[in-house]
Every structure is written in structure tokens, then in C-alpha cells.
Amino acid sequence: MDYGGKRVIVTGSAGLVGSEAVAFYSELGARVLGIDNNMRRSFFGADGDTTWNRERLEREHAGYEHCDVDIRDRTAIDTLFRAERPTVIVHCAAQPSHDLAAKRPFDDFDVNAVGTLNLLEACRQHCPESPFVFTSTNKVYGDAPNEIPLVEQPTRWDYARPEDFHGIDESCRIDNCLHSLFGASKVAADVLAQEYGRYFGMPVGVFRGGCLTGSHHSGAELHGFLAYLVRATFEGRKYRIFGHKGKQVRDNIHSRDVVAAMDAFARAPRPGAVYNLGGGRDNSISMLEAIRAIEQRCGRKLDAEYVDEARIGDHICYITDMSKFRADYPSWSLRHSLDSVLDEMVEVMSRRYAAEGDAQSAASRSAATATASVRLSPETPSSAGTNASGKRSSNSNGPAAIGGAESSIET
């Protein structure tokens, strides 16, 4: 498909996967319209703020158009789709956390399930021929993957039986297991998306992601496993590891590989198809292994604390079997090794810190100049502890430390 001048709509466009999709389609000449209301900030506080990523997209992709619309707003979404009639839709906007879903169940369901329905129906009304890609999650399998027999190794859990070596495929059941409310709202969206493919024959594809990662994640305590681990290591934050001896395993896939897979689908869609999407065994890592790998790259130790209580329903070992997708789309291949992903994340984070540090020094220099020429009164509020972007800094050693909350694992 030639995307030159074609309209592509990406929801969650300032998030990790959405921003990658914006870059991918912009580079192919599409006119990309992104929908994102920065709800990640409302979900996760300053750590989750995606403004920096939105601004980066606007800087780097001249044709990018941002739309600050809430996908829960059915009328706004319908109006937008009627006006734009996009050629491809990549739907990444979501509430992505288990723990937050328990605290904000209505927001979770309204964004994940109802928001997805709003988009699917707007497509059916205005562009039913256009491929629609939905980012679901492996959490639709609930804790069923934990029924697979495991063996304990020095730094990780692994599957005990040879037949499980390649991981979980799409035949894993999605009911009669524990999901969390997040998993349940994603199941609703996943099944709705399948129905728009099967019942209405629309070119809708469902991708059940493992750990999707990359340097453009606004890593927060409750979401973004590797991104948050890098952040916690850099900033000297306390990091709490919950249960399973820290040997729980995730496979990781770079957002660029994610979007390439989605685009392979968009070019040759199979209505209602469901695919697992992850980095597979080669890109799998346990919590203990990830901590060590990141500490080595950052040159500093993580302030980790072990809590002998696992998260409810946490996958103990999850490795994605992508055989089905590879068979249907043989031209796709995984391009980013886990090592290269970690290298990139640490490097980009270092650069961001250096830039924020420079901005901080510049701010201090101009503050010093102002002090010299204006003479601040003793009552003038101090700017200490605040970085150039106004965020609180809790770590005098590292630039732009944001908050100081304890942390935990959620992928």
C-alpha cells in the first residue's frame, strides 16, 4: 500500500506504541492524525505525562496533527471519523494498569471497552473498508498461563515441559481465570474488536501484547516495566519487587517491531484475526536479570527491596509464541534484540537527563543573574527542588528526579 498523502488515525498517539505508529506512518508519507488527551497523566501523575512525547512528534514530523480528544466522547469520535475517513486506524489509547483499574473501575472500563466500541462503530459508519488494528494484551488470558508447570532456575522461572518451550499461543483460554478489572475490560474490547471483524466482515486485527517497550515510554510505577526500572535506577528511587523471588519472566518487544507487525496486518488484513505479539524467548528476561542488566548499563545500583507477596494474578513466566502471526505474515521479523532495546533505553534516558540537567543549570544561572540584579526579598519562594519543567526534584545527585515514590512491578 502506498501511504503517500493517505490519512492514518492513531489513538494514544503520545504514548509508547501510538507515538511509534505516528513516526512509522509519517515516515511513509501518510498524513497522521493522533488522538490523545494525555489521560496517562491523570492515571499515573507526573511520571505518566506524555506532553514531552507529543511535543517531540510535533517537532520531528511536520505533517503530524494532534487532536486532544477523549475516546470516551462518542460524538467527537464520530464527527472526527466522518470528516477524516481514515485509510488505516491504529488504536492504542488505553488505561493500561491492573492496580489503577481497581481504583478507577469506571474510567478503566469506559476507556478500554467503551472507547474501543466508539472507535469501532465510528469506523463501521464512515470507513468500514479501512484496516483497524487494536492493541489488546496478554492479560486477556488472566492467570491461566500460571497453570503451566514451571521449573525454578537460579535467576528465573521457566517452563518445565519441552512442549511449552516456545511459550503461550492463542489457544490459551480467556475465561474461568483471574484477570483483574483491567484484564476484564480488555477482554471486552478484544471480543468486540473480533466481532467487528467476524460479524461485520471489517478488516479488524487484534494484537495481544506481552511487554511492549522502548525509549518513548513515559514509565510510571504502575506501568512500563523496563522504562520504569531504568528511571528508578537513574533517579535512585526505591523499587519494590513483589513475590516469585524476583524470578518472574516477561518477554519484551520494541515498539518499532510492534508497529511493523501491525502494518503487515494492515496491508493484508484478515478480518477478526487474533495474534499474540511479543519478543519471544530470545527477548525474555526475569526481574532479577533485568535489574542486573540495567544496573550494568547505568553504572549504578538500584535501590531494590523484596516484598514476599506476589501481585494478584501476576504472570510467573510469560513468553509469547508468535507462530501464528509469523505463519500468516512471513515477511515480518523481530529486528530489535533485548540487548539493543536496553542499550537504547538507557542511552535515550541519559540524554533526556543531560538535557534536563542543562536546562536546570541554565535556569539556575539566570536565577543567579536575577538575584544579582534584582535582590530577592527573603520571602521569595525558593526554586530549589524544582526542575526546569516545574517538576519536583527529590534527588540532588541526579537531574530532574521526579517524585520519590516507592515502586513495584507492573508490566
Ligand X SMILES: NC(=O)c1ccc[n+]([C@@H]2O[C@H](COP(=O)([O-])OP(=O)(O)OC[C@H]3O[C@@H](n4cnc5c(N)ncnc54)[C@H](O)[C@@H]3O)[C@@H](O)[C@H]2O)c1
Give the footprint of ligand X on this chain (CB under 6 A).
12, 14-18, 35-40, 50, 70-72, 92-94, 96, 111, 115, 135, 137, 209, 211-212, 217, 411
Q: Smaller CB distance to ligand X: residue 31 or 217?
A: 217
Output 37 or 194, the one with its CB closest to ligand X. Answer: 37
**CB of 373 vs ligand X, minimal distance in Å:** 41
The DSSP result for 185-238, as a single string, is HHHHHHHHHHHHHHTT---EEEEEESEEE-TT---BTTB-HHHHHHHHHHHT-E
In the complex, which residue's CB is closest to ligand X? Answer: 15
Least separation in angstroms between residue 42's CB and ligand X is 8
**Whole-angstrom distance, CA of residue 145 vs CA of residue 135:** 20
For ligand X, the closer CB: 220 or 360: 220
Give the DSSP per-residue string, 120-184: HHHHHHH-TTS-EEEEEEGGGGTTGGGGS-EEE-SS-EEESSGGGTT-B-TTS--SSS--HHHHH
In the complex with ligand X, which residue's Cβ is closer, 61 or 300?
61
Collapse the DSSP code of 291 into the 3-class scheme (helix H, G, I; strand E, B; otherwise coil) and give the result: helix
Closest distance between ligand X and the C-beta of residue 188, in Å? 13
Per-residue DSSP letter, 385: T
Q: What is the Cα–Cα distance from 322 to 366, expressed in whole angstroms? A: 54
> Smallest gap, in angstroms, from Cβ of residue 396 to ligand X?
29
Say if CB 329 and CB 264 are below 8 A apart. yes
Q: How far is the CB of 12 from ligand X (least distance, A)?
A: 3
Instruction: Say how far apart CA 62 and CA 54 lie, in whole Å.
Output: 12
> Minimum CB separation from ligand X for residue 210, in Å?
6
Compare residues 278 and 399 and give the one whose CB is closer to ligand X: 278
Residues 130, 88: contact at Cβ < 8 Å? Answer: yes
Question: Do 406 and 238 touch, CB atoms closer than 8 A?
Answer: yes
Nearer to ligand X, 35 or 230 (CB): 35
Nearer to ligand X, 38 or 395 (CB): 38
Nearest distance, CB of residue 244 and ligand X, angstroms:
18
Min dist CB 383 to ligand X, Å, is 28
Q: How many CB atoms lie within 10 A of CB 240?
A: 16
Q: Nearer Cβ to ligand X, position 116 or 360?
A: 116
